[in-house]
Structure 1
Protein backbone atom coordinates (compact mmCIF):
# COMPACT_ATOMS: atom_id res chain seq x y z
CA UNK A 1 0.00 0.00 0.00
CA UNK A 2 2.82 2.38 0.93
CA UNK A 3 4.48 1.73 -2.46
CA UNK A 4 1.33 2.81 -4.33
CA UNK A 5 1.15 6.09 -2.37
CA UNK A 6 4.83 6.81 -3.09
CA UNK A 7 4.34 6.03 -6.78
CA UNK A 8 1.25 8.30 -6.92
CA UNK A 9 3.16 11.08 -5.11
CA UNK A 10 6.09 10.79 -7.57
CA UNK A 11 3.65 10.94 -10.47
CA UNK A 12 2.12 14.18 -9.14
CA UNK A 13 5.61 15.58 -8.56
CA UNK A 14 6.58 14.82 -12.17
CA UNK A 15 3.39 16.46 -13.47
CA UNK A 16 4.08 19.49 -11.28
CA UNK A 17 7.63 19.79 -12.62
CA UNK A 18 6.39 19.52 -16.22
CA UNK A 19 3.74 22.18 -15.59
CA UNK A 20 6.26 24.50 -13.92
CA UNK A 21 8.70 24.12 -16.84
CA UNK A 22 5.89 24.82 -19.32
CA UNK A 23 4.86 27.98 -17.46
CA UNK A 24 8.46 29.23 -17.22
CA UNK A 25 9.02 28.50 -20.93
CA UNK A 26 5.77 30.31 -21.87
CA UNK A 27 6.74 33.34 -19.76
CA UNK A 28 10.22 33.40 -21.34
CA UNK A 29 8.79 33.20 -24.87
CA UNK A 30 6.18 35.88 -24.09
CA UNK A 31 8.70 38.24 -22.48
CA UNK A 32 11.64 37.94 -24.84
CA UNK A 33 10.66 36.35 -28.15
CA UNK A 34 6.97 36.57 -29.07
CA UNK A 35 4.12 38.84 -28.03
CA UNK A 36 0.64 39.56 -29.26
CA UNK A 37 -0.99 42.77 -30.38
CA UNK A 38 -4.59 43.53 -31.30
CA UNK A 39 -5.10 45.47 -34.53
CA UNK A 40 -6.92 48.67 -33.61
CA UNK A 41 -8.65 50.30 -36.56
CA UNK A 42 -8.84 49.82 -40.30
CA UNK A 43 -5.52 51.37 -41.38
CA UNK A 44 -3.98 48.03 -42.46
CA UNK A 45 -7.01 46.60 -44.29
CA UNK A 46 -7.29 44.36 -46.20
CA UNK A 47 -4.04 42.77 -44.95
CA UNK A 48 -5.00 43.05 -41.27
CA UNK A 49 -8.50 43.79 -40.03
CA UNK A 50 -9.73 45.65 -36.97
CA UNK A 51 -9.85 43.35 -33.94
CA UNK A 52 -7.52 40.66 -35.27
CA UNK A 53 -4.83 39.47 -32.90
CA UNK A 54 -1.36 39.13 -34.37
CA UNK A 55 1.69 37.35 -33.04
CA UNK A 56 4.85 39.38 -33.48
CA UNK A 57 8.49 38.43 -33.17
CA UNK A 58 10.49 40.62 -30.80
CA UNK A 59 13.85 39.02 -31.62
CA UNK A 60 13.90 39.42 -35.42
CA UNK A 61 15.57 42.81 -35.47
CA UNK A 62 18.20 41.93 -32.89
CA UNK A 63 19.83 39.78 -35.57
CA UNK A 64 18.58 41.37 -38.78
CA UNK A 65 17.62 44.77 -40.15
CA UNK A 66 14.03 45.72 -40.99
CA UNK A 67 13.24 45.30 -44.69
CA UNK A 68 10.89 47.02 -47.08
CA UNK A 69 7.35 45.60 -46.86
CA UNK A 70 7.86 44.18 -43.35
CA UNK A 71 4.76 44.69 -41.22
CA UNK A 72 6.13 46.07 -37.97
CA UNK A 73 4.91 47.00 -34.50
CA UNK A 74 5.87 50.57 -33.59
CA UNK A 75 6.00 51.67 -29.96
CA UNK A 76 4.89 55.24 -29.36
CA UNK A 77 4.26 56.83 -25.94
CA UNK A 78 0.48 56.49 -25.96
CA UNK A 79 -0.09 53.56 -28.32
CA UNK A 80 1.49 50.86 -30.44
CA UNK A 81 0.93 50.99 -34.20
CA UNK A 82 1.01 48.29 -36.88
CA UNK A 83 2.36 49.59 -40.21
CA UNK A 84 4.28 48.49 -43.29
CA UNK A 85 7.82 49.69 -44.02
CA UNK A 86 7.86 51.48 -47.37
CA UNK A 87 11.17 53.39 -47.53
CA UNK A 88 14.51 52.59 -45.95
CA UNK A 89 17.27 54.76 -44.47
CA UNK A 90 19.07 56.82 -47.13
CA UNK A 91 16.28 56.53 -49.72
CA UNK A 92 14.17 59.34 -51.14
CA UNK A 93 10.41 58.82 -51.40
CA UNK A 94 8.00 60.80 -53.57
CA UNK A 95 4.35 60.32 -54.48
CA UNK A 96 3.15 62.01 -57.65
CA UNK A 97 0.74 61.28 -60.49
CA UNK A 98 -0.72 58.37 -58.51
CA UNK A 99 2.64 56.56 -58.25
CA UNK A 100 5.00 56.00 -55.34
CA UNK A 101 8.66 56.49 -56.26
CA UNK A 102 11.71 55.41 -54.31
CA UNK A 103 14.95 57.01 -55.47
CA UNK A 104 13.16 58.02 -58.69
CA UNK A 105 11.95 54.50 -59.54
CA UNK A 106 8.27 53.59 -59.54
CA UNK A 107 7.68 51.16 -56.66
CA UNK A 108 5.31 48.26 -57.40
CA UNK A 109 3.12 47.84 -54.32
CA UNK A 110 1.92 44.32 -55.16
CA UNK A 111 0.43 43.94 -51.67
CA UNK A 112 -2.21 46.61 -52.53
CA UNK A 113 -5.20 46.46 -54.86
CA UNK A 114 -5.17 49.08 -57.62
CA UNK A 115 -8.09 50.98 -56.04
CA UNK A 116 -6.05 51.45 -52.84
CA UNK A 117 -3.18 53.20 -54.61
CA UNK A 118 -5.21 56.35 -55.20
CA UNK A 119 -5.43 57.11 -51.48
CA UNK A 120 -1.69 57.61 -51.08
CA UNK A 121 -1.92 61.33 -51.86
CA UNK A 122 0.92 63.59 -53.02
CA UNK A 123 4.07 64.37 -51.08
CA UNK A 124 7.82 64.53 -51.20
CA UNK A 125 10.47 64.23 -52.09
CA UNK A 126 11.48 63.17 -48.58
CA UNK A 127 15.00 61.87 -47.89
CA UNK A 128 14.93 59.24 -45.13
CA UNK A 129 17.72 59.81 -42.58
CA UNK A 130 19.88 57.04 -41.19
CA UNK A 131 18.21 54.84 -38.54
CA UNK A 132 14.76 55.99 -39.73
CA UNK A 133 12.01 54.37 -41.78
CA UNK A 134 9.00 55.63 -43.71
CA UNK A 135 5.91 53.56 -42.89
CA UNK A 136 2.37 53.48 -44.23
CA UNK A 137 -0.81 51.59 -43.57
CA UNK A 138 -2.22 49.52 -46.43
CA UNK A 139 -5.53 51.42 -46.25
CA UNK A 140 -3.98 54.66 -47.47
CA UNK A 141 -7.18 56.74 -47.32
CA UNK A 142 -7.46 56.55 -43.52
CA UNK A 143 -4.05 55.50 -42.23
CA UNK A 144 -2.15 57.63 -39.73
CA UNK A 145 1.45 56.99 -40.77
CA UNK A 146 4.70 58.70 -41.79
CA UNK A 147 2.76 60.99 -44.14
CA UNK A 148 0.42 62.52 -41.60
CA UNK A 149 1.06 62.19 -37.91
CA UNK A 150 3.52 59.44 -37.02
CA UNK A 151 6.42 60.99 -38.87
CA UNK A 152 9.54 59.02 -39.66
CA UNK A 153 9.99 55.99 -37.45
CA UNK A 154 13.24 55.53 -35.56
CA UNK A 155 14.74 52.05 -35.60
CA UNK A 156 14.51 51.98 -31.79
CA UNK A 157 10.71 52.45 -32.01
CA UNK A 158 10.28 49.22 -33.99
CA UNK A 159 9.64 46.54 -31.36
CA UNK A 160 8.85 43.59 -33.58
CA UNK A 161 7.78 42.09 -36.88
CA UNK A 162 4.29 40.73 -37.42
CA UNK A 163 4.41 36.99 -38.15
CA UNK A 164 0.89 35.47 -37.84
CA UNK A 165 -2.76 36.32 -37.43
CA UNK A 166 -3.77 34.10 -34.51
CA UNK A 167 -7.31 35.31 -33.79
CA UNK A 168 -10.01 34.88 -34.92
CA UNK A 169 -9.03 31.26 -35.36
CA UNK A 170 -10.73 30.88 -38.74
CA UNK A 171 -8.39 33.61 -40.14
CA UNK A 172 -5.16 32.09 -38.82
CA UNK A 173 -2.47 32.89 -41.38
CA UNK A 174 1.00 34.29 -42.00
CA UNK A 175 1.10 38.08 -42.32
CA UNK A 176 2.76 39.51 -45.42
Structure 2
Protein backbone atom coordinates (compact mmCIF):
# COMPACT_ATOMS: atom_id res chain seq x y z
CA UNK A 1 0.00 0.00 0.00
CA UNK A 2 2.82 2.39 0.83
CA UNK A 3 4.58 1.52 -2.43
CA UNK A 4 1.44 2.31 -4.41
CA UNK A 5 1.16 5.71 -2.73
CA UNK A 6 4.79 6.44 -3.58
CA UNK A 7 4.17 5.40 -7.19
CA UNK A 8 1.09 7.61 -7.33
CA UNK A 9 3.05 10.55 -5.97
CA UNK A 10 5.80 10.01 -8.53
CA UNK A 11 3.21 9.75 -11.28
CA UNK A 12 1.51 12.98 -10.18
CA UNK A 13 4.87 14.70 -9.95
CA UNK A 14 5.72 13.65 -13.50
CA UNK A 15 2.37 14.92 -14.75
CA UNK A 16 2.88 18.26 -13.00
CA UNK A 17 6.36 18.56 -14.47
CA UNK A 18 5.03 17.72 -17.93
CA UNK A 19 2.27 20.30 -17.52
CA UNK A 20 4.81 22.88 -16.41
CA UNK A 21 6.90 22.16 -19.50
CA UNK A 22 3.84 22.52 -21.72
CA UNK A 23 2.85 25.79 -20.06
CA UNK A 24 6.41 27.09 -20.37
CA UNK A 25 6.50 26.11 -24.04
CA UNK A 26 3.16 27.81 -24.66
CA UNK A 27 4.43 30.95 -22.93
CA UNK A 28 7.53 30.93 -25.12
CA UNK A 29 5.40 30.50 -28.24
CA UNK A 30 3.12 33.34 -27.11
CA UNK A 31 6.11 35.63 -26.48
CA UNK A 32 7.61 34.75 -29.87
CA UNK A 33 4.27 35.35 -31.60
CA UNK A 34 3.88 38.70 -29.85
CA UNK A 35 7.37 39.77 -30.90
CA UNK A 36 6.71 38.63 -34.46
CA UNK A 37 3.41 40.53 -34.52
CA UNK A 38 5.04 43.71 -33.21
CA UNK A 39 7.85 43.37 -35.76
CA UNK A 40 5.35 42.91 -38.61
CA UNK A 41 3.30 45.85 -37.34
CA UNK A 42 6.39 48.09 -37.22
CA UNK A 43 7.51 46.93 -40.68
CA UNK A 44 4.15 47.71 -42.29
CA UNK A 45 3.92 51.05 -40.48
CA UNK A 46 7.32 52.04 -41.89
CA UNK A 47 6.31 50.77 -45.34
CA UNK A 48 3.12 52.84 -45.29
CA UNK A 49 5.02 55.93 -44.10
CA UNK A 50 7.59 55.56 -46.89
CA UNK A 51 4.87 54.98 -49.52
CA UNK A 52 2.63 57.86 -48.44
CA UNK A 53 5.18 60.48 -47.36
CA UNK A 54 8.79 59.77 -48.35
CA UNK A 55 8.32 58.60 -51.95
CA UNK A 56 5.88 61.30 -53.20
CA UNK A 57 7.68 64.11 -51.36
CA UNK A 58 11.31 63.22 -51.93
CA UNK A 59 11.67 60.54 -54.62
CA UNK A 60 8.89 60.01 -57.16
CA UNK A 61 5.61 61.65 -58.10
CA UNK A 62 2.95 61.20 -60.75
CA UNK A 63 2.01 64.31 -62.75
CA UNK A 64 -0.49 65.11 -65.51
CA UNK A 65 0.28 67.49 -68.38
CA UNK A 66 -2.28 70.29 -68.67
CA UNK A 67 -2.34 72.06 -72.03
CA UNK A 68 -0.50 71.97 -75.36
CA UNK A 69 2.58 74.08 -74.60
CA UNK A 70 4.93 71.06 -74.75
CA UNK A 71 3.75 69.63 -78.08
CA UNK A 72 5.02 67.77 -80.00
CA UNK A 73 6.98 66.17 -77.14
CA UNK A 74 4.14 65.99 -74.61
CA UNK A 75 0.41 66.30 -75.11
CA UNK A 76 -2.49 67.44 -72.99
CA UNK A 77 -3.44 64.85 -70.34
CA UNK A 78 -0.23 62.83 -70.66
CA UNK A 79 0.58 61.08 -67.37
CA UNK A 80 4.21 61.34 -66.30
CA UNK A 81 6.53 60.15 -63.58
CA UNK A 82 8.64 62.91 -62.05
CA UNK A 83 11.77 62.13 -60.05
CA UNK A 84 12.73 64.50 -57.25
CA UNK A 85 16.40 63.66 -56.79
CA UNK A 86 18.23 65.38 -59.69
CA UNK A 87 17.40 68.96 -58.79
CA UNK A 88 18.25 68.44 -55.13
CA UNK A 89 21.71 67.23 -56.16
CA UNK A 90 22.17 70.00 -58.76
CA UNK A 91 22.11 67.41 -61.55
CA UNK A 92 19.63 69.13 -63.88
CA UNK A 93 20.93 69.69 -67.40
CA UNK A 94 19.96 71.64 -70.48
CA UNK A 95 16.92 70.21 -72.28
CA UNK A 96 15.67 68.33 -69.21
CA UNK A 97 11.90 68.63 -68.78
CA UNK A 98 10.93 69.86 -65.34
CA UNK A 99 7.81 70.43 -63.30
CA UNK A 100 7.84 73.68 -61.35
CA UNK A 101 5.60 76.05 -59.44
CA UNK A 102 5.75 79.47 -61.18
CA UNK A 103 3.96 81.24 -58.35
CA UNK A 104 5.74 79.47 -55.49
CA UNK A 105 5.13 76.20 -53.71
CA UNK A 106 2.28 77.68 -51.69
CA UNK A 107 0.31 77.79 -54.95
CA UNK A 108 -0.77 74.41 -56.37
CA UNK A 109 -0.51 75.51 -60.02
CA UNK A 110 2.43 73.89 -61.80
CA UNK A 111 3.97 74.08 -65.27
CA UNK A 112 5.83 71.50 -67.34
CA UNK A 113 8.62 73.04 -69.46
CA UNK A 114 12.06 72.33 -70.90
CA UNK A 115 15.26 73.81 -69.48
CA UNK A 116 16.96 76.04 -72.05
CA UNK A 117 19.26 78.24 -69.98
CA UNK A 118 21.39 77.17 -67.01
CA UNK A 119 22.53 79.07 -63.90
CA UNK A 120 25.08 81.80 -64.64
CA UNK A 121 24.42 81.91 -68.39
CA UNK A 122 23.21 84.86 -70.46
CA UNK A 123 20.34 84.10 -72.82
CA UNK A 124 18.87 86.13 -75.67
CA UNK A 125 16.47 85.41 -78.54
CA UNK A 126 17.10 87.17 -81.86
CA UNK A 127 15.50 86.50 -85.23
CA UNK A 128 13.86 83.37 -83.86
CA UNK A 129 17.16 81.91 -82.65
CA UNK A 130 18.28 81.27 -79.08
CA UNK A 131 21.70 82.58 -78.05
CA UNK A 132 23.53 81.31 -74.97
CA UNK A 133 26.47 83.48 -73.92
CA UNK A 134 26.50 84.99 -77.41
CA UNK A 135 26.46 81.67 -79.31
CA UNK A 136 23.53 80.13 -81.17
CA UNK A 137 22.03 77.19 -79.28
CA UNK A 138 21.81 74.12 -81.50
CA UNK A 139 18.50 72.42 -80.70
CA UNK A 140 15.50 70.99 -82.52
CA UNK A 141 12.87 70.73 -79.81
CA UNK A 142 10.85 73.74 -80.91
CA UNK A 143 7.67 72.91 -82.79
CA UNK A 144 7.89 76.16 -84.77
CA UNK A 145 10.27 79.11 -85.15
CA UNK A 146 10.01 81.56 -82.25
CA UNK A 147 7.85 84.55 -83.14
CA UNK A 148 7.87 86.38 -79.81
CA UNK A 149 11.15 86.59 -77.85
CA UNK A 150 9.38 88.33 -74.98
CA UNK A 151 11.75 89.82 -72.44
CA UNK A 152 14.55 87.71 -73.99
CA UNK A 153 14.69 90.21 -76.85
CA UNK A 154 17.34 91.73 -74.59
CA UNK A 155 20.07 89.69 -72.85
CA UNK A 156 18.92 88.03 -69.62
CA UNK A 157 21.46 86.94 -67.01
CA UNK A 158 20.30 83.78 -65.24
CA UNK A 159 20.93 83.72 -61.49
CA UNK A 160 23.03 81.13 -59.68
CA UNK A 161 19.98 79.14 -58.54
CA UNK A 162 17.77 79.82 -61.54
CA UNK A 163 16.84 78.23 -64.86
CA UNK A 164 15.37 79.65 -68.06
CA UNK A 165 12.62 77.38 -69.37
CA UNK A 166 10.51 77.24 -72.51
CA UNK A 167 7.72 75.08 -73.87
CA UNK A 168 8.43 73.09 -77.04
CA UNK A 169 5.32 74.63 -78.61
CA UNK A 170 7.07 77.99 -78.47
CA UNK A 171 4.38 80.23 -79.88
CA UNK A 172 1.66 79.33 -77.39
CA UNK A 173 3.84 78.62 -74.35
CA UNK A 174 3.79 80.84 -71.27
CA UNK A 175 7.36 80.48 -70.04
CA UNK A 176 10.50 82.31 -68.91
CA UNK A 177 10.24 84.74 -71.82
CA UNK A 178 7.44 86.46 -69.95
CA UNK A 179 7.66 88.32 -66.66
CA UNK A 180 4.67 86.46 -65.20
CA UNK A 181 6.87 83.33 -65.14
CA UNK A 182 10.42 84.66 -65.37
CA UNK A 183 13.48 82.64 -64.46
CA UNK A 184 12.63 79.55 -62.43
CA UNK A 185 14.17 79.45 -58.96
CA UNK A 186 15.54 76.08 -57.87
CA UNK A 187 13.38 76.20 -54.73
CA UNK A 188 10.25 76.20 -56.93
CA UNK A 189 11.21 73.12 -58.95
CA UNK A 190 9.18 70.02 -58.19
CA UNK A 191 11.24 67.52 -60.16
CA UNK A 192 12.38 66.17 -63.51
CA UNK A 193 9.88 64.43 -65.79
CA UNK A 194 11.51 61.28 -67.15
CA UNK A 195 8.86 58.67 -67.99
CA UNK A 196 5.42 58.73 -69.63
CA UNK A 197 2.96 56.10 -68.41
CA UNK A 198 -0.12 57.21 -70.35
CA UNK A 199 -1.33 57.04 -73.06
CA UNK A 200 -0.06 53.48 -73.50
CA UNK A 201 0.93 54.06 -77.13
CA UNK A 202 3.45 56.65 -75.88
CA UNK A 203 4.58 54.59 -72.87
CA UNK A 204 8.29 54.98 -72.20
CA UNK A 205 11.14 57.39 -71.39
CA UNK A 206 10.76 61.07 -72.28
CA UNK A 207 13.30 62.77 -74.53
Question: Which range, TM-score by smaller chain?
Answer: 0.7 to 0.9
Residue 108 in structure 1 maps to residue 138 in structure 2: yes
Range with bigger deviation, 117-126 or 163-172: 117-126
Measure, in 2, the Cα distance between the counterparts of 1:119 and 1:97: 8
Candidates 66, 72, 89, aligned match of 1:40: 66
Query: Per residue, is there more strand in 1 or in 2?
Result: 1
Report the structure number with the largest CA radius of gyration: 2
Q: Residue in 1 aligned with 2:122?
A: 92
In structure 2, the CA distance between the partners of 1:89 and 1:31, relative to structure 1 (3 Å rule), is closer
Measure, in 1, the Cα distance between the counterparts of 2:128 and 2:99: 27
> Does 1 or 2 have the higher relative contact order (CA < 8 Å, sep 6+)?
1
Unaligned runs of 5+ residues in structure 1 are 1-9
Residue 161 in structure 1 maps to residue 189 in structure 2: no
Residue 151 in structure 1 maps to residue 176 in structure 2: no
Verify the 8 A CA contact 2:196 2:203 in the aligned structure 1: yes
SS in 2 for 1:62: coil
Could you list the per-position Cα deviations for residues 90-142 of structure 1 after superposition, in whole angstroms to 9, with x for gaps in the alignment? 111111122111011000112235xx123453612111122111111110111
Measure, in 1, the Cα distance between the counterparts of 2:124 and 2:206: 26
> Structure 1 length normalisation: TM-score?
0.80
Q: Residue in 2 aligned with 1:65?
A: 91
Cα RMSD, aligned residues only: 2.3
Query: Per residue, is there more helix in 1 or in 2?
Result: 2
Unaligned runs of 5+ residues in structure 2 are 1-32
> Structure 2 length normalisation: TM-score?
0.69
How many residue pairs end up in the alignment?
A: 160
In structure 2, the CA distance between the partners of 1:120 and 1:108, relative to structure 1 (3 Å rule), is farther
